[in-house]
Structure 1
Amino acid sequence: MEQVVLLDESGVAIGTADKLSVHHASTPLHLAFSSYLFDGAGRLLLTRRALHKKTWPGVWTNSCCGHPAPGEAAAPAVRRRLVEELGLEDVDLDLVLPAFRYRAEMENGVVENEMCPVFRGLVTGEPRPNPDEVDAVEWVPWAEFAPAVLAGARPVSPWCVLQVAELWELGSDPLAWPTASAAALPPAAA
């Protein structure tokens, strides 16, 4: 059974819980991550979440999201999930939003409540999506995608909307975004 790391308000681990039992109307604060993968031309790899997922099924979102396992740092967790979800190995990762946090509620009352560091990755190969996790993929130019999301013209997951707003502030060229220090991560993610 996959476990998630429960957090206090300062990002310190205070326990664990089964992933399947943690997402409900009173979801406790827990550790996650998001990643945005780009090719050399600055195109973003978008994914559509599998239709059977408990949270936001069938919704388009960033390249890959997940939860570090207890005792697993964020960057190795991202690499693990990129292999599991997209069949992508040896992705060059950089931390870009170490302190991103959000809370979002689905129409059915299920809540996400996460400290969710955001990573940028550069890929050279094509993804091989795992159908248990990903329904579809699409490469989109960042310079078109981000403004469309910010204008409300491109529907994506609620965390993706919030992350895109912060990422856009880093500059219009995702390959030139400044990297962040791992010291700014929540303590449980370091």
Structure 2
Amino acid sequence: MHDQVVLVTENDEAIGLMPKLEAHEKGVLHRAFSVFIFNSKNEMLLQRRAFGKYHSEGLWSNTCCSHPLPGESAHDGALRRLGEEMGIQAELEFLYTFQYRADLENGLTENELDHVFLGVSDAVPVIDPAEASDYKYLTIAEIQADIAQNPHAYTEWFKICVPVIAREIGH
């Protein structure tokens, strides 16, 4: 079950399951989520994806991102993975959903209907080294400046989300 993704229509209707790697090899639209955690200083918690991940290894990204399990809501999946990847529990607010397609290394393609959640926590992350190799806190302005200088250091979905997140939180 953990290596299956939920295939969806553009209206987020589940239409089947597929192994995660196969879905990325074929570029099939599937459900995903992205979590953005801010601390009380209004800094975003970023994670550096673990080296050895099947795509986007070593790139900086939002606090947590993954795929809900079959039968699991995007919200419940986001809560579960936030705990598994970063050792954090937080209330999550749904912000929006967007669809994107991006060609990645190794001939893989992201084609996701991504559910975006926002939360606040001052908990110290306890990262799962299989998922994340590092973490840091940055303000939205610092993130935007660094993406402008080093766009290849960040995941594709993160670069799409940052301007929307900045508007959502009033930056």
TM-score (norm 1): 0.83
Alignment of 1:9-88 (within 5 A): 9-24=10-25, 26-88=26-88
Would the aligned equivalents of 1:143 and 1:172 in 2 still touch at CA under 8 Å? no
Structure 1 residues 124 and 171: alpha-carbon distance in aligned structure 2, compared to 1, 3 A threshold? closer
- 1:92-145 CA deviation, whole Å, 9 max, x = no partner? 211112x21111111432101000011111112100000010111111122321
Q: Secondary structure at the match of 2:160?
A: helix
Q: What SS does the corresponding residue of 1:45 show, helix, strand or coil?
A: strand
Question: Which amino acid letter does the alignment assign opposite residue 155 of structure 2?
Answer: S
Contact 1:146/1:168 (CA < 8 Å) preserved in 2?
no
Alignment equivalent of 1:142, drawn from 122, 140, 163: 140
Q: Residue 113 of structure 1 aligns to a residue in which SS? A: strand
Q: Aligned pair 1:120/2:121, yes or no?
A: no
Kindly provide the amino acid, as one letter, of the partner of residue 21 in structure 1. Answer: E
Q: Cα offset for 1:164?
A: 0.8
Alpha-carbon distance in 2 for matches of 1:102, 1:116: 8
1:100 paired with 2:74, answer no
Q: Distance in 1 between matches of 2:85 and 2:150?
A: 27
Q: Which runs of 4+ in 1 moved over 4 A?
A: none
- Where does residue 180 of structure 1 map in the other structure? none
- 15-24 or 128-137: which moved more? 15-24
Q: Name whichever structure is richer in strand by fraction.
A: 2
TM-aligned CA deviation for residue 152 of structure 1: 4.5
Q: Tell me how far apart the structure 1 counterparts of residues 30 and 84 of structure 2 sit (CA, whole Å).
A: 21
The residue identity in structure 2 corresponding to 1:145 is: I
Percent identical pairs in the alignment equals 37
Rounded Cα–Cα distance in structure 1 between residues aligned with 2:166 and 2:56:
23
For 1:77 and 1:171, how far apart are their aligned partners in 2? 23
SS, match of residue 128 in structure 1: coil
Structure 2 length-normalised TM: 0.91
- SS of 2:106's equivalent in the other structure is coil
SS of the residue 1:116 aligns to = strand
C-alpha separation in 2, matches of 1:166 and 1:152: 19
SS in 2 for 1:6: strand
Residue 17 of structure 2: SS of its match in structure 1?
Answer: strand
Deviation at 1:10, TM superposition (A): 1.8
Q: In the aligned structure 1, how far is the partner of 2:63 from the partner of 2:57? A: 15
1:169 positional shift = 2.7
In the TM superposition, what whole-angstrom CA distance separates every residue of 1:150-181 from its partner, at most 9, and x where no partner exists?
x35453111101111222232435xxxxxxxx
Would you say the 8 A contact 1:48–1:137 is kept in 2?
Answer: yes
